[in-house]
Structure 1
Amino acid sequence: MGLGEDGPDGLSAASRAAIAEADVVMGPERHLSLLPESAAERIVWPVPFSDGLPKLEKLRGRRTVALVSGDPFWYGGGRVIAQRLRAGEWRAMPAPSTFTLAAARMGWAVESTLCVGLHAAPLSRLRPHIARGRRMIVLLRDGEAVFDLCGWLTAAGFSETKVAVLEALGGPNERRTDGRAGTLTGDFQHPVAAALEIAGKGRTMPVVPGLDDALFDHDGQITKRPVRALTLAALAPRAGETLWDIGGGSGSVAIEWLLAHPLTEAISIEADPARARRIRANAAQLGVDRIEVVEGWAPEALGGLPDPDAVFVGGGLCAALLEHLTARLETGTRLVINAVTLESEAVLADWHARRGGDLMRIEVSEAQPLGTRRGWQAAYPVVQWRGQL
């Protein structure tokens, strides 16, 4: 089975030949309407996309072309189709992706432009990447989503962002409309992409750990910024790794773990339902909605979870939990524990004596008003153990 492309202007010679020889051509109605006449049966791919996969599988034994926009393996349906079919049953014939076409229209270098698909993803996924002067190409669900994007940028303080709305790239109905996020007007139709040059006085996020506490909604149960920066440094996130955040609180540590690299994963374990909801909301607001939140107490809530590469214990520390982690997890799993209470400190002191690792006491003081002058106000000291199981 073949994967064709979008419209006659976007079809390669190989794709045209495949369509001419096909028994069946399957794709969105707009794709089918742009094809030249042929003897092939035409089947409209249904919405949602997943509903079309069983129909495609029933066409086994017939020469079938499935039409997918641009490069089917870059925010396209190619990966899903390939997973459903057997090896040797399909071949792909990619055309220039929407990102490539958009960059060509704008005169931008693709390698220095953020390219992201937000057909079914929240706009907040852009949050970690927003920076003045940055260029982005964003694929959107439909014309109305263009105004959703502009409203989101304006609310974030970036109403001056230059927006080029690019419709039906590579086809006969291609159109470009330019404006600013705060004032853009028009009537836009799917398929649509937006090329952005970020401008404005909104707040951008730093690229090192230790986000301002004010970026997180919390009830006081939060690893404070200086300690969080040290904690992330101790956890040392790497691409592709998974974190268990036990006693998630506001989710700040797990969220910053996810912000460290797009291929990191995090599971936050939190017993309080209100805090669990807050973790999800904080993660979504800061663009890392891929967080998984498990409601329950450790160690009982850990059953069935995929093994982590690193574990952070920020609450609920006890000797039984440490023994469970030792028995459950592979040797070499990184472990970082923060303790505030005397009871937790005693557990860590005993653990350090038996297991080694690094034990550190973190004391932070901030300048605060003291009468007509200023003085140092100390936060509760934090004892941190770092090591491997």
Structure 2
Amino acid sequence: MTPARPAPTTAAVTVVGIGADGWDGLPDASRTALCEAEVLIGGPRQLDLLPPECTGERIAWPSPLRPAVASLLTAHAGRRIAVLASGDPMFYGIGRALAEEADAVDVLPHPSSVSYAAARLGWPLEDIEVVTLVGRPTARLAAALHEGRRLLVLSADAATPGEVAELLRDRGFGTSRMRVLEQLGGAKEHASAETTAGDWPDSQPPGDPLNIVAVECRRAPDALRLGAVPGLPDQAYEHDGQLTKRHIRAATLGALAPAPGELLWDIGGGSGSIAIEWMRTHPSCHAVSIERDPARAERITRNADRLGVPGLRVVTGSAPVVLAELPTPDAVFVGGGLTAPGLLDACWEALPLGGRLVANTVTLESEALLADAYRRHGGELVRLAVANAVPVGGFTGWRQAMPVTQWAVQKTLNTPSGADR
């Protein structure tokens, strides 16, 4: 016997998860909350699942949804509000927005489509990566593509499976196995036959908009391998020579030390490689790439899209002029423009306690600036040198790349702020 659910706390809003099985799949607590509500808010499809005994005023979410949350709650303050959500409201659902806006929220969850899909496929949830494309670009899926990885893709609509197949083919994963699961948990539940992304027909008629795409990643042998740590192959980037090369890039990201949820300023973006690989370390990492050349700024956007971080913000302009308009960073990387008057000082002032600053240069003029910053603020000043093996006649020798001087520092209460150490 299922134990009784504790009595809900007094809540401004009750959020009720509902599945494709509709009213029949709801437990008593959820049914009671919906029947007693004076206001029922949800998508048209969800509201249509409710029987006549739910007599509250029915309000469909407008589009865009997120900006309307606060105003709807305010308009119906003092009334009993129930909000319908697909599956588990706190898993990529409306529950997050309501928790941020309402005085109190009581959540009555339902199994999510991800739980149903894992059960149908026999895939352990802990071994699956979930990628949502609801309200997000399909390109973000690219960052999750690794050989043998199992993915569950939350679809925006009926067109999403075809878009997923196209992206897989384009990124060298055309042999990946795909299945589309529709209306999970409902009477119209359906699973497509397994096929590959390469065999997914462009002429495939759209299925049900309520679907999830299961992908078992398989990389073509000749496709460029992109690992999960910084230091992607230089060939992964479109560039005009302005690119932090692979080994220096890996060392630079190591010094920047990205952590989940943090924001990076990438000043002098070039091809965007530092910002892109910062964002690839964790889905919650953010970055702003500042690039004064419009052609390069457009190239950064293309590289970010290609490598699975379409959320990278690209600002076309010169630092330090544009920095005042940006949100406070957790870390700053200066890869270009070091000689711009006041740039390093502006970056230092923008950093909060605990923030990190890393700057790279290959010129004597900029190196002198870094040496002065090291004298004033401390940190680490290192020289990075890389040599590549190249043919020398019938033999092999070393070709030395230009050495890179790197200054890395963390801002703490004990960090010197300007005086000589």
TM-score by length of 1: 0.91
Structure 1 stretch 101-110 or stretch 233-242: which is displaced more? Answer: 233-242
What SS class does the counterpart of residue 91 from structure 1 fall into?
strand
Aligned mate of 1:236, from 257, 279, 282: 257
The aligned runs of 1:220-231 (5 Å cut-off) are: 220-231=241-252
1:342 is aligned with what amino acid? L
Structure 1 residue runs of 4 or more that deviate by more than 6 Å after TM superposition:
none
Gaps of 5+ in 1: none
Contact 1:364 1:378 (C-alpha < 8 Å) held by counterparts: yes
Aligned mate of 1:3, from 4, 15, 19: 15
Pair 51,243 (structure 1): closer, same or farther in 2 beyond 3 Å: closer
Contact 2:140 2:309 (C-alpha < 8 Å) held by counterparts: yes
- In structure 1, C-alpha distance between the alignment counterparts of 2:353 and 2:234, rounded to whole Å: 34
- In structure 2, C-alpha distance between the alignment counterparts of 1:385 and 1:55, rounded to whole Å: 51
1:191 is aligned with what amino acid? L
- In structure 1, C-alpha distance between the alignment counterparts of 2:384 and 2:109, rounded to whole Å: 55
The C-alpha deviation readout for 1:5-46, integer Å capped at 9, x for no partner, is: 231244222111122223343322322333333251434334
Gaps of 5+ in 2: 1-12, 412-421
- In structure 2, C-alpha distance between the alignment counterparts of 1:243 and 1:311, rounded to whole Å: 6
- Deviation (angstroms), 1:168: 1.1
State the match for 1:302 in structure 2.
Answer: 323
TM-score by length of 2: 0.84
State the match for 2:415 in structure 1.
Answer: none
Aligned mate of 1:148, from 155, 159, 163: 163
The C-alpha deviation readout for 1:88-130, integer Å capped at 9, x for no partner, is: 3x42211111111111111211121111211121222122221
2:211 is aligned with what amino acid? V
2:389 is aligned with what amino acid? A
- Deviation (angstroms), 1:373: 4.3
1:250 is aligned with what amino acid? S
- In structure 1, C-alpha distance between the alignment counterparts of 2:192 and 2:83, rounded to whole Å: 31
State the match for 2:41 in structure 1.
Answer: 26
1:42 is aligned with what amino acid? R
Contact 1:9 1:171 (C-alpha < 8 Å) held by counterparts: no
State the match for 1:70 in structure 2.
Answer: 87
- In structure 2, C-alpha distance between the alignment counterparts of 1:307 and 1:200, rounded to whole Å: 39
- In structure 2, C-alpha distance between the alignment counterparts of 1:176 and 1:327, rounded to whole Å: 56
Structure 1 stretch 215-224 or stretch 230-239: which is displaced more? Answer: 230-239
Pair 141,368 (structure 1): closer, same or farther in 2 beyond 3 Å: same
- In structure 2, C-alpha distance between the alignment counterparts of 1:310 and 1:34, rounded to whole Å: 48
- In structure 2, C-alpha distance between the alignment counterparts of 1:234 and 1:72, rounded to whole Å: 38
Pair 274,167 (structure 1): closer, same or farther in 2 beyond 3 Å: same
2:242 is aligned with what amino acid? Q
- Deviation (angstroms), 1:50: 4.1
- Percent identity between the two aligned chains: 46
State the match for 1:376 in structure 2.
Answer: 398
The aligned runs of 1:277-292 (5 Å cut-off) are: 277-292=298-313
Contact 1:243 1:311 (C-alpha < 8 Å) held by counterparts: yes
Contact 2:146 2:219 (C-alpha < 8 Å) held by counterparts: no
Aligned mate of 1:45, from 58, 61, 64: 61
- Deviation (angstroms), 1:303: 1.0
